[in-house]
Amino acid sequence: MQTLITTHNLTKRFGDFTAVDAISFEVGKGEIFGFLGANGAGKTTAMRMLTGLSHPTSGEASVAGFDVYRQPEMIKRHIGYMSQKFSLYEDLTILENLRFFGGVYGLSRRQIKEKSAALVEQLGLEEVAKKLTGSLPLGWKQKLAFSLALFHDPQIVFLDEPTGGVDPITRRQFWEMIYAAADRGVTVFVTTHYMDEAEYCDRISIMVDGKIAALDSPAGIKTKLGVQSMNDAFYQLARGAQRSE
Amino acid sequence: MKPFLAFVKKEIYHILRDRRTLLILFGMPIIQVLIFGYAVTNEFRGASIAVLDQAQDELSTDLQRHLVASGHFAIIEQVDNVSDIESAFQKGKIKMAVVIPPDFSQDFYHRKKAVVQVLSDGSDPNTASTLLNYVTNMVNQFQVRKSQAPPLPLQINIESRLVYNPELKSVYMFVPGVTALILMLVSAMMTALTLAKEKELGTMELLLVSPLHPFLIIVGKVTPYVFLALINAIFILALGVFVFGVPIKGSLLLLLGLCLLFILTALALGILISTKTDTQQAAMLTSLMMLMMPTMLLSGFIFPVESMPRLLQWISTIIPAKYFIILLKDVMLKGSGIELILWEVMVLGIMTLFFLVVSLKNFKIRLA
Amino acid sequence: MKAITIDGISKKYGKTQALDQINLEVEEGALFGLIGPDGAGKTTLFRILTTLLLADTGQASVTGLDVVKDYKEIRKTIGYMPGRFSLYQDLTVEENLNFFATIFGTTIEENYDLVRDIYVQIEPFKNRRAGKLSGGMKQKLALSCALIHKPTVLFLDEPTTGVDVVSRQEFWEMLRKLKEKGITILVSTPYMDEASLCDRIALIQKGQLLSIDSPTNIIQQFSKPLYAVKTNLLHQLLGDLRTFPLTDTVFPFGEYLHLTTKQQLEEDQLTIFLQNKGHQKIQLHPTKATIEDCFMELMTN
């Protein structure tokens, strides 16, 4: 299987504080990789390095075939990114958002037009396409933001707590969109606080104090720790954490 | 009382722990005073002028000497004809030219009416009018010295214009203006910002849900700023007196009392703005537009109210800083006592009361 | 006397109906959960009860005091922890707690008993600025500040949102202890799995209460046959189950899919159906509903 993310002893220090401590893992094409950890375990820092936003202190990593030290700009061009906090401009209409982000990723005017039309139809947003994004319900915004992260056909998409606060049905519809993307061969790298969502991933890693404490399929982790649920697994691993944020 | 003190203490921590606030509070006054004192002064020393002396006699030479002696002018060129003046202007060599006519002494001594032509560069009207003021002033002084019976109306006219600031020092003018500006900044803008910050952080929610009376929340928040503003006022006045030699002829206590009154006016305005804005950004912009700009432009600080269009003159009557600047000038330069400035004090006092009542009325006991 | 009574409360923001005819009662000493996603109206309801907002219609009272008329009295007796961290980031842990004690006219010493269990955990950092605390510690400080004046009713608006499982579990442990001390607690959360930790819950969605009862009763009221299904082809299973004639709803649910059907299922019938679609390692068994199943059922009704 083709690997799209490779890290080897990837480390980030801030002064004498080691935020990410020599993590190594690989993520394959079309895989849904759950990236879990307690608050302050180093998830965000690790994700910043992988998305080309932050320079590692040591170790190696490549994303979509590009080196995180030398080609962060190439990485940014080949990944999609969506976070719970910022994803869309609320004071632009849906179509304006699509046009803007399409432009940011260098799509041609024609491509943007075609893709926007397809996307609006696929999400059933025809009636509201010219309305301000801020007026949409949260669940729709999140679905739209996810589609937008995939707008330029990236090989990998990074999702930072994409479903926080979303109602249970929309949350599941969102995951169906993730499944569909993965089935098309897109690699999905996702963080979440919902333990049931960890189960939807092909493999998950659980970070504790900057290190990867477990890395396996959800079933594998549960078996190894001898627990019934992901909740218990997480609790058992993170309970002993020395630090939090 | 105890909750109030706790509030004040908390507020002082906020101020002391925020470098940006500290910088605005203490850096700004110094910078403003220095900028206005040195850089943006409209006082001239050694302005280049040309003289076309067609008389070439004792009196005309004396007049030239008199102009140079003031230190305001430096004669850099003696020209022979009018066209030379024009070329000197065009080359930007001179700011003003003085033309003394051929029969200058004769006219002065015998006809009691001499004409001196002064040409100045109208493309820079501020400089031109200041220089004209200077030269008029000096020619009149010259007249007084030379003639036994000076033309009366002129004398009176000039006296009234210059008596409180005989050297036309602009530094005397800007100290009251800067004081008004800084007090506005510290008392109004900073209070508006600090109240908006509580809303932005969500702590206002917690304060409202506490048994604290809303009035106490406001008073607690603004009290430290009253002191800070007062310290600032003293600081600016001290800079004015000790660095720029501005006199304080009136009572110092009265002066500080007036500062306190204006601080309260500004606080009331700041609170009023904070009741209408929910974010620091909005509070900042509103303060700049509604308070700082009018204080700079319409109070008579930079542009004299008398020379404004009628409409702006009307607007200036509701600008608190206008009254404050008048009061400061009266007390500092003229040495007026309270009995002479009662009207302005009353206007400012009523304004303060009005803004205070309106802002307290507007302060919400709930979120929306 | 009820700790909280809500009677026909409605609130509109512009065109959005934030709350629509809410009726609710919370017993004294109860740990009551208000459960629903973002935008359901939880925060609006909290703000009305904490006297921060006025409802458009309806009445509400807290410990018998009217939220509009007696707002001053209510403000003395309740504790409130707003949705986002709302303490002074530039004050230290101790300064924050001291400040909130003082404005409620009390001292840390006077009510230390109540907050001790929570405060001891952050006391080692009492000279640290609140802004520099971790998420879990901020949460503990905020709870201490909400408790320091010994409130009779505690309002906690989404205290566990964005917090990891370990901190969440600790937090609920603290709430359980507070409840033992007789404090009535109204807590809101978007996490359905926290429902079971409450005595009673109200499920809220789009400004309407879907159900109010104890978690066990709500689960018992789940009316449809529910099955957990799992095969080797999980992604495909979702689509395939939707084409099964007896299917009502299918949702991913942890490692299984939860399937509700229009009538009791002949399990073999479904197994054969799935085998024909190419699934292997088929696991299929009836399962007990969770609060989340109930919530979804109520949402789709």
- C-chain CB neighbours of B13 within 8 Å are 90-91, 95
The answer as to whether B226 is a domain residue is yes
Answer with the one of B162, B186, B210 that is the final residue of a domain.
B162
What phi and psi values does residue A44 have, to the nearest 5 degrees?
A: -65, -45
Express each pLDDT in A135-158 by its tens digit. 888 888 888 999 999 998 999 999
Same domain, C190 and C290: no
Residue B160: pLDDT above 60?
no
The answer as to whether B368 is a domain residue is no
Same domain, C180 and C61: yes
Same domain, C241 and C294: yes
Partner-chain contact C50 B209, CB within 8 Å: yes
Query: Mean pLDDT throughout C237-262?
Result: 92
Structural domain of residue B97, as residue ranges? 47-162
Does any CB of chain C come closer than 8 Å to the CB of residue A85? no
Same domain, C193 and C81: yes
Partner-chain contact C52 B210, CB within 8 Å: no
Contact call for B and C: 3+ CB–CB distances under 8 Å: yes
Same domain, B197 and B248: yes
Answer with the one of B103, B135, B162 that is the final residue of a domain.
B162
The answer as to whether B367 is a domain residue is no
Partner-chain contact A39 C163, CB within 8 Å: yes
Give the model's confidence band at B287: pLDDT under 50 very low, under 70 low, under 90 confident, else very high: very high
Query: Mean pLDDT throughout B148-157?
Result: 43
Answer with the one of C185, C201, C219 that is the final residue of a domain.
C219
Query: Mean pLDDT throughout A162-181?
Result: 91
Burial B319-356 (b: 16+ CB within 10 A, else e): bbbbbbbbbbbbbbbeebeeeebeebbebbeebbeebb
Residue B155: pLDDT above 50?
no
Residue B130: pLDDT above 80?
no
pLDDT of residue C215: 96
Taking the C-alpha atoms of residue A98 and residue A119, their distance in angstroms, rounded to an integer, is 9
* C63-70: long-range pairs with CB below 8 Å, 24+: C63/C1, C63/C3, C63/C152, C63/C153, C64/C1, C64/C2
Express each pLDDT in A23-42 by its tens digit. 999 999 999 999 998 878 88
Express each pLDDT in A41-95 by its tens digit. 889 899 999 999 999 999 999 999 999 999 999 999 899 999 877 678 889 999 9
Contact B28, B185 (CB under 8 A): yes
Express each pLDDT in C270-282 by its tens digit. 999 999 999 999 9
- C-chain CB neighbours of A230 within 8 Å are 254
DSSP class of residue A126 equals G
What ipTM was predicted for this assembly?
Answer: 0.86
Residue A234: pLDDT above 80?
yes
The answer as to whether B234 is a domain residue is yes
pLDDT of residue B152: 43
Contact call for A and B: 3+ CB–CB distances under 8 Å: no
Same domain, C199 and C257: no
Structurally, chain C folds into a number of domains equal to: 2
Same domain, B211 and B238: yes
Same domain, C119 and C204: yes
Same domain, B125 and B210: no
CATH number, position C273: 3.30.70
Looking at per-residue pLDDT, the higher value among C11 and C266 belongs to: C11
Same domain, B96 and B224: no
pLDDT of residue B306: 77
Query: Mean pLDDT throughout B190-218?
Result: 89
Same domain, B19 and B115: no
Answer with the one of B120, B140, B162 that is the final residue of a domain.
B162
Does any CB of chain C come closer than 8 Å to the CB of residue A90? no
Same domain, B154 and B285: no
Same domain, B345 and B232: yes
Same domain, C158 and C244: no
pLDDT of residue B362: 86
Residue B213: pLDDT above 70?
yes
Give the model's confidence band at C1: pLDDT under 50 very low, under 70 low, under 90 confident, else very high: confident
Does any CB of chain B come closer than 8 Å to the CB of residue C107? no
Does any CB of chain B come closer than 8 Å to the CB of residue C47? yes
- C-chain CB neighbours of A195 within 8 Å are 165, 193, 254
Same domain, C276 and C169: no
The answer as to whether B232 is a domain residue is yes
Mean pLDDT of chain B: 83
Mean pLDDT of chain A: 90
pLDDT of residue B216: 87
Query: Mean pLDDT throughout C172-190?
Result: 94
Structural domain of residue C260, as residue ranges? 226-300
Class of domain A3-82+154-238: alpha beta
Same domain, B140 and B244: no
Q: What does the domain layout of chain A look like in residue ranges?
A: 3-82+154-238
pLDDT of residue B260: 95
Answer with the one of C190, C219, C248 that is the final residue of a domain.
C219
Helix (H, G, I), strand (E, B) or coil at A40: coil
Looking at per-residue pLDDT, the higher value among C4 and B45 belongs to: C4
Give the model's confidence band at B72: pLDDT under 50 very low, under 70 low, under 90 confident, else very high: confident
Give the model's confidence band at B120: pLDDT under 50 very low, under 70 low, under 90 confident, else very high: confident
CATH number, position C149: 3.40.50.300
3-state helix, strand, coil in chain B (%, to 5): 70, 5, 25
Query: What residues contact B267, with CB distance under 8 A and at least 6 apart?
Result: B187, B188, B191, B222, B225, B226
Express each pLDDT in A190-211 by its tens digit. 999 888 899 999 999 999 999 9
Same domain, C208 and C173: yes
Same domain, B33 and B131: no
- B-chain CB neighbours of C102 within 8 Å are 2-3, 6
Helix (H, G, I), strand (E, B) or coil at C168: helix
Same domain, C233 and C211: no
Structurally, chain B folds into a number of domains equal to: 2
Query: Mean pLDDT throughout A103-109?
Result: 88
pLDDT of residue B134: 80
DSSP class of residue A241 equals -
CATH number, position B52: 3.40.1710.10
Percent of chain B with pLDDT over 90: 29
Percent of chain A with pLDDT over 70: 98
Express each pLDDT in C51-102 by its tens digit. 999 999 999 999 999 999 999 999 999 999 998 888 999 999 999 999 999 9
pLDDT of residue C243: 94
Give the model's confidence band at C199: pLDDT under 50 very low, under 70 low, under 90 confident, else very high: very high
Same domain, B14 and B75: no
Same domain, C173 and C233: no
